[in-house]
């Protein structure tokens, strides 16, 4: 991940430049490899770079040959090579960066440019000739992005990767909506990502399940996300989603290594020289560059004897990945909480619970020299995988809830995955949120996603990767993992973690405090209902002013009646794990 900060139409941009550079520095953890800035007219773009693709030539902001268009991007464009081939007009590319294609796309398609992008991204583009800014965010909001205004500079508009860049200079901040583009020409946001399932959740899909299509769509999604020129790995919790991603990535790594050997052998035979380490992934003649690794790294973390750590080791042994299993103590987690809230920029209970071990793991990953990881976020929202979905009254309401959860991912699991890793200069990629895979998965008749006596949560994605009856296909996962019940990450790292958080919250928040919340919380209509939630809100307020709270959304399950978002609070979990232990 990279970090960006931008301001358009500042009344004195030269005087503002030192402040803008400081705001960019506030997200240097996202992009520790290089810093850059461009001023044009009264607009400034600041960029902090994490180099993953085009590492030797992709410094930003990017500027076209004429010097009239400048661009700052946080993200990865997986179809950049395809776009380069399909441009109608010749464009002289100055770098090998995947992001530079956004400039010619703007020249050819104007405000429709993001419709042509396949990837995760937040970007700000300035057209000097028109003195115009366009800013866009990827369809689901995988990359974090904020937009702000200031009463002291009423004509200006600000953008940044994180809240901490904006609250010192803006008194009105929003989370930039996913799938939208801002145009300063009209000073408005337009939704460019408009699939029917998202725009009309009341239209219940009727498409029958196609298990082969579902499997191939996810495989394709993982494959394109191996686009990197640096060491990469997979986050492996031992749950279904991360294990499937790891399995597919390992298969592709083995295939690529074999291809590289064949290429090297051919080159050596012809010229007596070493073969290139970079090979192409052929996706219907659409090439993406990847770093061929001798073996795939996988990473897990948990308290000693955590359920997920044991399952993750089983998966790693089965797949043959180079596995790194880390442990943390409850004290480690508690000591990190304030930093986690600072980096996550939220006070949502379930996000903080799950983010803390992920935050600690990301630091370990960075220390090993890995800069990009694949992760399994999004599957539970798409397939109704959370245990509270057992209480869904019917398929129509289940579908509406999956749509709602996907729409809000940018305030929850996407925010967690992006910021927990970016805090240490690591990039997380999420194959389940590929827009093509989403079109397939969200168009399936939701009756197929309902939990029944004979169907465990996420039955259809499990079934899609069940190779029983396919003698020529090796198993993707052991059956005990493929059919393992959902264990939410904050539970799976060790049940003592959540218990410790609740116990420590009681030490910091009294009954009287809980009964008499701060006046601004009451005015905002967002009053914590537990001591744990109150504790996190206090931490948030230590780092951010009251007006920043409008960018946060707290989550509780829609059905089931419980107030605690932990999966352990769901009866079906207790019946499965506790009564049989």
pLDDT tens readout for residues 511-546: 999 999 999 999 999 999 999 999 999 999 999 999
Q: Are 63 and 37 in contact (CB under 8 A)?
A: no
Q: Pick out the residues of the known binding site.
A: 98, 235, 301, 375-376
286 shares a domain with 221: yes
Q: Helix 349-367 crosses helix 495-508 at what angle (to 10 degrees)?
A: 120
Residues annotated as binding site for ATP? 235, 301, 375-376
Residues 112 and 145 in one domain: yes
The residue-averaged pLDDT of 368-388 equals 95
Task: Please state, in angstroms and as integers, the Cα–Cα distance from residue 406 to each residue in 4, 16, 225, 243, 444, following that order.
Answer: 25, 38, 20, 21, 15
pLDDT at 267: 63
355-to-322, 344, 414 alpha-carbon distances in Å: 24, 8, 11
Q: Is 118:77 a contact under the CB 8 Å cutoff?
A: yes
3-state SS, residue 36: strand
pLDDT of residue 493: 77
Residue at 542 is within a domain: no
Beta strands in 58-210 (DSSP E): 62-63, 69-77, 119-127, 132-137, 146-149, 157-160, 172-175, 180-183, 188-191
Q: Which of 496, 511, 526 represents a domain boundary (last residue)?
A: 511
Whether 116 and 83 have beta carbons less than 8 Å apart is answered as yes
Alpha-carbon torsion 451, 453, 457, 463, what sign?
Answer: negative
Q: What does the alpha-carbon distance between residue 377 and residue 382 come to, in Å, rounded to a whole number?
A: 10
- To the nearest whole percent, how much of the chain has pLDDT over 90? 82
pLDDT in tens, 299-351: 999 999 888 899 999 999 999 999 999 999 999 999 999 999 999 999 999 99
Tokens of 421: 């890793």
142 has pLDDT over 80 = yes
CB count within 10 Å of CB 454 equals: 6
Tokens of 250: 């390992």
- Residue count of the chain: 581
Separation of first and last alpha carbons in the chain: 42
Distance (Å, rounded) from C-alpha 239 to C-alpha 378?
13
Domain contains 126: yes
How far apart are the C-alpha atoms of 221 and 440, rounded to whole Å?
12
The predicted structure's pLDDT at residue 1: 73
Helices (H) and strands (E) in the chain, counts: 21, 19
Distance CA 244, CA 236 (A): 9
Say if residues 108 and 89 touch (Cβ distance below 8 Å): yes
| pLDDT score, position 126 | 98
Among 468, 493, 511, residue at a domain's last position: 511
pLDDT digits (tens, 9 = 90+) for 153-200: 999 999 999 999 999 999 999 999 999 999 999 999 999 999 999 999
By C-alpha distance, which of 444, 173, 497, 508 is closest to 305?
Answer: 497
Task: Please say if 170 is a catalytic residue.
Answer: no
**Residue in 2, 7, 99, 414 annotated catalytic:** 2
DSSP string across 72-92: EEEEEETTHHHHHHH-SS---
Residues 148 and 276 in one domain: no
Q: In this structure, are 23 and 155 located in the same domain? A: yes
Domain count, the chain: 2
Instruction: Please check whether residue 77 is in contact with residue 113, taking contact to mean a CB–CB distance below 8 angstroms.
Output: no
Three-state SS letters, 436-504: HHHHHHCCECHHHHCCECCECCCHHHHHHCCCCCCCCCCCCCCHHHHCCCCCCHHHHCCHHHHHHHHHH
The Cα–Cα gap between 456 and 465 comes to: 15
Residue 368 included in any domain: yes
Burial class (CB in 10 A: 0-12, 13-18, 19+), 527: middle
One domain for residues 78 and 108: yes
Q: What does DSSP assign to residue 576?
A: I
Q: Measured between alpha carbons, how far is 343 from 3 in angstroms, rounded to an integer? A: 13
For residue 256, the model assigns a pLDDT of: 85
Asked if residue 39 has pLDDT above 50, the reply is yes
Instruction: Check whether 283 has a pLDDT greater than 50.
Output: no
What is the tens place of the pLDDT at every residue in 472-516?
A: 999 999 999 999 876 555 456 777 999 999 999 999 999 999 999
Q: Is residue 174 part of a domain?
A: yes
Query: Which has the closest alpha carbon to 78: 429, 373, 372?
Result: 429
Enumerate the β-bridge partners of residue 322.
297
Same domain, 170 and 234: no
CB 324 within 8 A of CB 368: yes
Tens of pLDDT, residue by residue over 430-475, are: 999 999 999 999 999 999 999 998 899 999 999 999 999 999 999 9
The pLDDT of residue 286: 47
Q: Is residue 124 part of a domain?
A: yes
Show which of 462, 487, 511 is a domain's final residue: 511
Query: Are residues 458 and 379 in contact, defined by beta-carbon separation less than 8 angstroms?
Result: yes
Q: How far apart are CA 159 and CA 136, in angstroms?
A: 10
Residue 281, pLDDT > 60, answer no
Q: What mean pLDDT is reported for the chain?
A: 91
Q: Is 178 in the same domain as 38? A: yes
CA–CA dist 30, 86 (Å, integer): 32
Residues making up the binding site for L-glutamine: 98
Residue 456 lies in a domain: yes
- Which pLDDT band holds residue 228 (cuts at 50, 70, 90)? confident
- Pair 296, 285: CB distance under 8 Å: no
Confidence of residue 231 (pLDDT cuts 50, 70, 90): confident
Q: Are residues 216 and 184 in the same domain?
A: no
The pLDDT-based confidence of 229 (bands split at 50, 70, 90) is confident
CA atoms within 13 A on the CB side of 198: 18
Are 274 and 140 within one domain?
no
Instruction: Assess if residue 41 is contained within a domain.
Output: yes
Give the per-residue pLDDT at 485.
78
CA distances, 506 to each of 351, 532, 542 (Å): 19, 7, 19
Q: Which helix (H) or strand (E) holds 401?
A: helix 395-407
Q: Residue 520 domain-assigned? A: no
Q: Which CATH number characterizes residue 155's domain?
A: 3.60.20.10
Angle subtended at Cα 257 by Cα 254 and Cα 263, rounded to the nearest 5 degrees: 145
pLDDT band at 224 (very low <50, low <70, confident <90, very high): very high
Show the domain range for 152.
Answer: 3-194
Percent of the chain with pLDDT over 70: 90
What is the domain-level CATH number for residue 302? Answer: 3.40.50.620
CA distance 213 to 437: 9
Same domain, 183 and 320: no
One domain for residues 161 and 19: yes
pLDDT category at 580 given cuts 50, 70, 90 is very low
Question: In this structure, what token pair is assigned to residue 498?
Answer: 């959540």
243 and 188 in a single domain? The answer is: no
């Amino acid at each position: 991940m990279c970090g960006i900060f931008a301001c358009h139409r500042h009344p004195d941009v030269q005087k503002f430049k030192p402040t803008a550079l400081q705001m960019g520095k506030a997200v240097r953890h996202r992009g520790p490899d290089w810093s850059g800035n461009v001023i044009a007219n009264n607009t400034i773009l600041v960029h902090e770079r994490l180099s993953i693709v085009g590492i030797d030539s992709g410094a930003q902001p990017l500027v076209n040959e004429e010097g009239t268009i400048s661009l700052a991007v946080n993200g990865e464009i997986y179809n950049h090579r395809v776009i380069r081939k399909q441009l109608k007009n010749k464009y002289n590319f100055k770098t090998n960066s995947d992001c530079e294609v956004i400039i010619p796309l703007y020249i050819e398609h104007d405000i429709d440019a993001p419709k042509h992008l396949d990837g995760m991204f937040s970007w700000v583009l300035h057209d000097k000739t028109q003195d115009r800014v366009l800013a866009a965010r990827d369809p689901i909001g995988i990359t974090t992005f904020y937009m702000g205004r200031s009463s002291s500079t009423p004509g200006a508009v600000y953008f940044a990767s994180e809240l901490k860049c904006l609250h010192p200079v803006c008194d009105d901040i929003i989370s930039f909506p996913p799938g939208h583009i801002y145009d300063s020409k009209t000073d408005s946001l337009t939704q460019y990502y408009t699939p029917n399932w998202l725009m009309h959740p009341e239209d219940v899909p009727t498409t029958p399940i196609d298990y082969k299509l579902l499997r191939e769509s996810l495989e394709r999604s993982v494959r394109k996300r191996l686009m990197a020129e640096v060491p990469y790995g997979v986050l492996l919790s031992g749950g279904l989603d991360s294990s499937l991603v790891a399995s597919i990535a390992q298969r592709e790594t083995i295939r690529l290594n074999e291809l590289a050997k064949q290429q090297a052998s051919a080159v050596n035979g012809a010229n007596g020289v070493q073969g290139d380490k970079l090979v192409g992934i052929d996706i219907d003649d659409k090439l993406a560059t990847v770093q061929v690794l001798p073996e795939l790294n996988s990473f897990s973390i948990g308290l000693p004897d955590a359920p997920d750590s044991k399952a993750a080791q089983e998966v790693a042994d089965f797949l043959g990945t180079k596995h790194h299993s880390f442990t943390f103590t409850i004290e480690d987690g508690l000591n990190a909480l304030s930093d986690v809230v600072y980096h996550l920029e939220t006070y949502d209970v379930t996000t903080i619970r799950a983010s803390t071990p992920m935050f600690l793991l990301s630091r370990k990953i960075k220390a090993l020299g890995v800069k990009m990881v694949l992760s399994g976020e999004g599957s539970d929202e798409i397939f109704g995988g959370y245990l509270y979905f057992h209480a869904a009254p019917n398929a129509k309401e289940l579908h509406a809830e999956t749509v709602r959860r996907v729409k809000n991912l940018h305030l929850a699991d996407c925010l967690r995955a992006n910021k927990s890793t970016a805090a240490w200069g690591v990039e997380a990629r999420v194959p389940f949120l590929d827009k093509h895979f989403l079109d397939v998965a969200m168009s399936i008749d939701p009756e197929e996603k309902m939990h029944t006596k004979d169907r465990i949560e996420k039955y259809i994605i499990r079934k899609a990767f069940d190779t029983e009856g396919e003698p020529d296909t090796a198993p993707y996962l052991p059956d005990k993992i493929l059919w393992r019940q959902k264990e939410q990450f904050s539970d799976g790292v060790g049940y003592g973690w959540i218990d410790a958080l609740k116990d420590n919250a009681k030490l910091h928040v009294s009954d009287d405090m809980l009964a008499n919340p701060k006046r601004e919380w009451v005015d905002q209509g967002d009053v914590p209902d537990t001591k744990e939630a109150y504790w996190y809100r206090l931490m948030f307020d230590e780092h951010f002013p009251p007006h920043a709270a409008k960018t946060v959304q707290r989550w509780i399950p829609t059905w089931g009646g419980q107030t605690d978002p932990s999966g352990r609070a769901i009866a079906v979990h207790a019946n499965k794990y506790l009564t049989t232990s």
